[in-house]
Amino acid sequence: MKVSLKWLQTMVEVPKDLDAFVEKLDLTGTAVDSVHYTGARFEDIFVGQILVKEQHPNADSLWVTSVDVGENNLGEDGKPKPLQIVCGAQNFAQGDKVVVALEGAELPGGIKIKKTKLRGVESRGMNCSNRELGLGTDHEGIMVLPADAPVGIAFSDYAATGDTILDLEITTNRPDCMSMLGVAREVAAIYTTSYDLGRAMPEPPTQGKAEDFVRVSIDESTRCARYTARIIKGITVGPSPEWLAERITAAGARPINNIVDATNYIMFETGQPLHAFDLDTLAKDAEGKASIIVRAAGQGEKFTTLDEVERTLSTDATVIVDGNAASGTGASIALAGVMGGLESEVTDKTVNILLESASFNQGHTSRTSRNLKLLSESSSRFDKGVDDATCDEFSARAAALMAEIAGGTVAEGVVDCYPVPRKLPALTLNLTKLREILGADIPRSIVVNILRHLGCTLESAEEDMESFRVHPPTYRPDLEREIDLYEEILRLWGMDRVESKLPGGAERIGSRTREQVLTDKIGATLRALGLNETMTYAFASAEDMRLLGMQIPEGAEAVELINPINTEQSQMRMTIIPGLLRSVAFNQSHGVPNVQLYELGAVFTTSEGRKQPKEKPLLAGVLAGSWNRQAWNEPARTLDFFDAKGVIESLARELCIADLRFVALDEADAPWLANGQAALIRSGSAVIGWMGAIHPRAAEAFEAGSPVFAFELEVKALLGAAKEAREFVPVPVYPAVELDLALVVDADVTAETLLRVARSGGGALLSEVHIFDVFADANKLGEGKKSVALSFTYRSPDRTLTSEEVEKLHSRIVRKLEGATGGTVRS
Amino acid sequence: MQTIEIEALQETALQSIAAASSSKELEQVRIAVLGKKGSLTQVLRSMGSVPQEERASLGASVNTARVQLEEALELRASELKALEQSAAIKAESVDVTLPGRSQPIGSEHLISRLTREIVEVFRGIGYRVVEGPEVETEYYNFTALNAPADHPSRSQQDTFYVHDRSGTESRVFGESEVLLRPQTSPAQVRVMENDELPIYILAPGRVYRRDTADPSHLPQFTQIEGLVVDKGISFAHLKGTLEYFCKEIFGPERKTRFRPHFFPFTEPSAEVDVSCGICGGSGCRFCGGTGWLEILGCGMVDPNVFGFVDINPEEYSGFAFGMGVERIACLKYDVPDLRMLLEGDMRFLRQF
């Protein structure tokens, strides 16, 4: 909402200090988005009076003047002191009022005023000419003002040359402030002063009666609370007077013609949107009357708005219909509250006007303008609600204005269709409750004063009762409950005056759930392991799954946005990996080859018949390049499959997941992974997730260079498998015996098989077995073979083992391993 | 063997001890003299062949020599050990300014870190954390939060809508009853529906608004909202809580101010500014000359909201507040382009 201060000042007293005024508006709930100035500002230029005019001692054509500029120049005693100014003009006399630019002023022509000496006489300012002020070409002499010009006031105020425009943010609960009148009321309430409409409209000449020219009916009063029609006849369409054009321009509209401008002017002034129809374009019945019907649009009805765009309407839209039009049901002439029609618009030839002033339903207007993507000054007011009580009053004001600026006569009276006049709520204000909710002891007298300045009528407010009755004004539809009054009192009394307190209550504990504790632990562990947390878009392209090579789960489908910003982000992601691959690519293309990232976030799917989609938190990670750059004391540790696996194993250790298993996935199961470096991760029967090397084709699809090792785990499954702690196992007391074994087996015998066979053969006395070497060498071992070296630790919890029993046990394990795998012990 | 020879032997041994230049050499000297086949040991072994009358004095001489040699050995050993240690230390000395062996420690995302810091501030004053779905229904996101049916924030210009697969159609083209939540408040409605009173909760999470990504906007960002419902809660408590929060997060010297505002969910409502940390409140480019930075919105829970969740507003009152973590990140770290938060640039991530 753009507010011209020059206009506002005609309605209410506005404080001189602009900064303080802006802050006051901010602190009472009307945020000032911006302040800008129009026209010349004439800073440091004031009205002055020539007190003394004397000949310059050293120049015949110059005068030395002493000029009174009021309080704009003070002497050492703090009292106004006249300025000595040397002046070359010949057209002024002692006592004349002139325009004085003080030191520091910058004239529109670019001259900057400095203290100077002219032919040896000090000069501290300048008496300005028209041309120097940028107000004309006259440079014959200085500008001499009428004798009543007040000394000391700013020239910009005197000449009213410039304007200050405040752009106010009007919150949706304050439709009343969508007008100059509303802002004036607000300013009056803030400073507890009075306001009025400012400009008086002359009484218009009248002729005829409105009811002889038009009839109005409303089909559904829920669509339109009130519709008034006025008739203005014999007008001449032409340009608006300058003052009106200036005001509506300041408010943000473009002057069109005097009739349209008058409707806009009254809308900006009072908040009442108006529409002027060319009365002669409307069909007349036998009695010569136009017929206005307000009703729902037809489904699929076509209507051309005055911006010459054909619109397709739904029954949710409300239209104004010319009830006498040839077609049986009448023809639409306006889209109620949004925009008029092309056919009935005011043109240069228009002579007679039907002026609409109505109150249309917020919801229908708002939805219609959203559906048609057609926002207008009118719809933005009906969106928030227009006061139906004043439709008639402001229509009369508009008609008077039209008659003033476009000539013509106004038909007496108004055709007013107001089926169900609005009932105003009568509220009860309880002072005790007010003070409890606000936590502030605001005195009754202040509460009463604030409410009165807001236009409320109070009953028994002066009496010493806890409660009194409050009748809010019609223009404040937001004041419908007691709490709404509290808000008004708080904002006008001052939020800064409320003394701060913390809520008490000793029984409150800021606890964390198991899920939150473990989720924090997952993050902390991954970071300790060297992964960096990141965030990527939760949006995805419809192509992402295909590019990656991942299947959408059976029966599920993507969650698609109805109104995406772009096609790359047209649905919600089903995997985090594409986002992470894009981050890998981003780093690689910016000269950062070593990337270790993880993200914890939701993925989404839906299915036929579902309202709210399924959301699943996932933990995903990517590793590319090395852990580190080569350093003076260590080479770069290139990342591989087992770095990623190690991360998951360490995470499982931190989460006390004992039974983690990695099962090889083949290409058909996981096409997004490179065959042979792909694993499903399980804990018992639960699938935790997958890990592996991203297939180079998939990496390339997201512009990432291979290899990239990745994992994606289901957080719920991970937390399900997690334990709070492990069981205590006594520290060994008896010594252990360690024996090593190298076994040559077929290349496809897995480490898991070897370890499982060894453990089952070793029983309780085999306390540990681990693989410490794996190698394949066709020359030494033969084609398709590998050597796996295992280290066995034997120990008993309750005695020292003898070498005989260890050897016996070890031989048994060896035999079992050979039997189970077809391997042979390498000598 | 004469005492005189023993003395000579001792003298030679002492010289060898003194000449030994390493622990190893010294050990060889010891073995040569006192070892099983050492010269002095040989003397002792041959005592049997010494005449009875000389045996005592010779024995005494040998013992004396042995004691003295052992002392000398011990002394020299410790000297050599010290020398060798210092030599070893010298050999192992390093340039302490060379970097240590790198440990791959990862970093926490700036937004997570700030979220955690903010959550900790509130946990300290008895709040717990709740989460909710990111794809919400219109009911929880708008209706139960008292947003009128045709509130402009519901517009598809501002809110992302997703296809409702239950088959329900919306009255406005391009909208639906299912949407990406533009705030985390729906999680609060669920808590008010289901949990016991009093309620002191914080709801952090990802939210969405239909803004094209640019240096100062992201279509997805992080919001933290708080809700208190208890007996006797007033606007003074809201002020006290948020002033405490601002001082904890921005520093004790920072001031706050409350500007009345409008939110459908709260009444009275306010926006909160914190004094600019760059200029200290006198006005600069960072704060747009106002001296203040807007950081959150808040207010007293609107009684209508209590109506949706069956809480008696005559008995209970409450306050709610919400803030954008990305905005706070910008204010604290002056991040020049919000899109950096979603790029995964290691050079950015590892700064925090």
Judge if B128 and B216 occupy the same domain: yes
Judge if B165 and B72 occupy the same domain: no
Model confidence band, residue A799 (pLDDT cutoffs 50, 70, 90): very high
Q: Which tokens is B343 given?
A: 């790029």
Task: Judge whether residue A353 has pLDDT over 80.
Answer: yes
Task: Judge whether residue A15 has pLDDT over 80.
Answer: yes
Judge if B124 and B172 occupy the same domain: yes
Residue A324 DSSP code: T
Judge if B76 and B132 occupy the same domain: no
Judge if B221 and B78 occupy the same domain: no
Q: Percent of chain A scored above 70 by pLDDT?
A: 98
pLDDT value, residue B171: 64
Taking the C-alpha atoms of residue A209 and residue A199, their distance in angstroms, rounded to an integer, is 26
**Least CA distance to B317: which residue of chain A?**
A437
Model confidence band, residue B195 (pLDDT cutoffs 50, 70, 90): very high
Mutate to test the interface with A, among B92, B165, B306 (most CBs of A within 10 A): B165
ipTM of the complex: 0.86
pLDDT value, residue A423: 84
Task: Judge whether residue B174 has pLDDT over 80.
Answer: no
pLDDT, one tens digit per residue, over A532-542 is 999 999 999 99
- Final residue belonging to a domain, choices B92, B126, B143: B92
Nearest chain A Cα distance for residue B136, angstroms: 7
**Least CA distance to B124: which residue of chain A?**
A510
| Cβ <8 Å between B344 and A500 | no
Model confidence band, residue B1 (pLDDT cutoffs 50, 70, 90): low
**Least CA distance to A600: which residue of chain B?**
B112
Q: Does the A2-39+163-190 domain belong in CATH 3.30.56.10?
A: yes
- The rounded Cα A115 to chain-centroid distance in angstroms is 50
Judge if B158 and B114 occupy the same domain: yes
- Final residue belonging to a domain, choices B64, B92, B120: B92
Helix, strand, or coil (residue B135): strand
Nearest chain A Cα distance for residue B232, angstroms: 7
pLDDT value, residue B104: 80
What does residue A566 show for φ and ψ, rounded to 5 degrees? -155, 170
Select the residue of B212, B244, B259 nearest A502 (Cβ to Cβ): B244
The domain tally of chain B equals 2
Q: At A761, which amino acid appears?
A: G
Task: Judge whether residue A160 has pLDDT over 80.
Answer: no
Select the residue of B123, B262, B342 nearest A172 (Cβ to Cβ): B262
CA dihedral over A102, A105, A111, A115, signed as positive or negative: positive
Taking the C-alpha atoms of residue A689 and residue A681, their distance in angstroms, rounded to an integer, is 5
Give domain status of residue B99, yes or no. Answer: no
pLDDT, one tens digit per residue, over A640-665 is 999 999 999 999 999 999 889 999 99
Taking the C-alpha atoms of residue B102 and residue A594, their distance in angstroms, rounded to an integer, is 14
Taking CA atoms, A507 is separated from B197, B312, B316, in Å, by: 12, 21, 17
CA atoms in the 13 A half-sphere facing the CB of A427: 21
A129 versus A445: which is more confidently predicted?
A: A445
pLDDT value, residue A38: 78
Judge if B117 and B80 occupy the same domain: no
Judge if B169 and B210 occupy the same domain: yes
Model confidence band, residue A460 (pLDDT cutoffs 50, 70, 90): confident
Give domain status of residue B103, yes or no. Answer: no
Is residue B161 less than 8 Å (CB to CB) from chain A?
yes
Select the residue of B150, B177, B302 nearest A611 (Cβ to Cβ): B177
Select the residue of B171, B344, B350 nearest A583 (Cβ to Cβ): B344
CATH classification (class only), A45-159: mainly beta
pLDDT value, residue A569: 95
**Least CA distance to A485: which residue of chain B?**
B268
Taking the C-alpha atoms of residue A385 and residue A786, their distance in angstroms, rounded to an integer, is 82
Least confident range from A275-279, A524-528, B148-152: namely B148-152
Judge if B232 and B273 occupy the same domain: yes
Q: What is the CATH number of the domain that holds B322?
A: 3.30.930.10
| Cβ <8 Å between B99 and A632 | yes
pLDDT value, residue A132: 81
Taking the C-alpha atoms of residue A612 and residue A775, their distance in angstroms, rounded to an integer, is 53
Model confidence band, residue B152 (pLDDT cutoffs 50, 70, 90): low
pLDDT value, residue A794: 95
- Return left, alpha or beta for A207; rule: phi > 0 is left, psi -120 to 50 is alpha, else beta: beta
Q: At A356, which amino acid appears?
A: E
pLDDT value, residue A327: 66
| Cβ <8 Å between B260 and A28 | yes
What does residue A306 show for φ and ψ, rounded to 5 degrees? -70, -5
Model confidence band, residue A827 (pLDDT cutoffs 50, 70, 90): confident
Choose among A476, A451, A472: nearest CA to A461.
Answer: A451
Choose among B200, B201, B189: nearest CA to B147.
Answer: B189
Which helix (H) or strand (E) is A436 found in, with range?
helix A431-438
CATH number of this structure's domain A514-721: 3.30.930.10
Helix, strand, or coil (residue A586): helix
Mutate to test the interface with B, among A478, A508, A515 (most CBs of B within 10 A): A508
Judge if B16 and B150 occupy the same domain: no
Taking the C-alpha atoms of residue A290 and residue A296, their distance in angstroms, rounded to an integer, is 19
Q: What are the structural domain ranges in chain A?
A: 2-39+163-190, 45-159, 206-417, 427-497, 514-721, 737-825
pLDDT value, residue A614: 96
- The rounded Cα B83 to chain-centroid distance in angstroms is 46
pLDDT value, residue B63: 86
Is residue B48 less than 8 Å (CB to CB) from chain A?
no
H-only helix segments in A540-605: 544-548, 577-589
Choose among A536, A425, A541, A529: nearest CA to A484.
Answer: A425
| Cβ <8 Å between B106 and A531 | yes
pLDDT, one tens digit per residue, over B222-260 is 999 999 999 999 999 999 999 999 999 999 999 999 999
CATH number of this structure's domain A737-825: 3.30.70.380
Judge if B120 and B83 occupy the same domain: no
Choose among A160, A83, A92, A168: nearest CA to A122.
Answer: A83
> How many contiguous H segments (helices) and E segments (strands) does chain B have?
11, 9
Give domain status of residue B9, yes or no. Answer: yes
Cβ-based burial of A724 (10 A; exposed 0-12, middle 13-18, buried ≥19) = exposed
Pairing of strands A532-533, A595-605: parallel
Helix, strand, or coil (residue A675): strand
Residue B22 DSSP code: S
Task: Judge whether residue B50 has pLDDT over 90.
Answer: no
What does residue B54 show for φ and ψ, rounded to 5 degrees? -95, -15
Across the range B174-182, mean pLDDT stands at: 88
Across the range B263-280, mean pLDDT stands at: 91
Taking the C-alpha atoms of residue A791 and residue A736, their distance in angstroms, rounded to an integer, is 12
Taking the C-alpha atoms of residue A718 and residue A534, their distance in angstroms, rounded to an integer, is 20
CATH number of this structure's domain A206-417: 3.50.40.10
| Cβ <8 Å between A531 and B151 | no
Nearest chain A Cα distance for residue B335, angstroms: 16
pLDDT value, residue A138: 66
H-only helix segments in chain B: 3-19, 23-34, 39-45, 52-92, 110-124, 138-141, 185-194, 235-250, 303-308, 325-333, 346-349
Model confidence band, residue A730 (pLDDT cutoffs 50, 70, 90): confident
Domain of residue B84 covers 3-92
CA dihedral over A138, A144, A148, A153, signed as positive or negative: positive
Give domain status of residue B265, yes or no. Answer: yes
Task: Judge whether residue B5 has pLDDT over 90.
Answer: no
What average pLDDT does chain A have?
92
pLDDT value, residue A176: 94
Across the range B202-217, mean pLDDT stands at: 93
Judge if B47 and B162 occupy the same domain: no
CATH number of this structure's domain A427-497: 3.30.56.10
Across the range A493-504, mean pLDDT stands at: 93
Residue whose structure tokens are 């004004």: A473
Nearest chain B Cα distance for residue A714, angstroms: 16
What does residue A14 show for φ and ψ, rounded to 5 degrees? -105, 130
pLDDT value, residue A506: 64
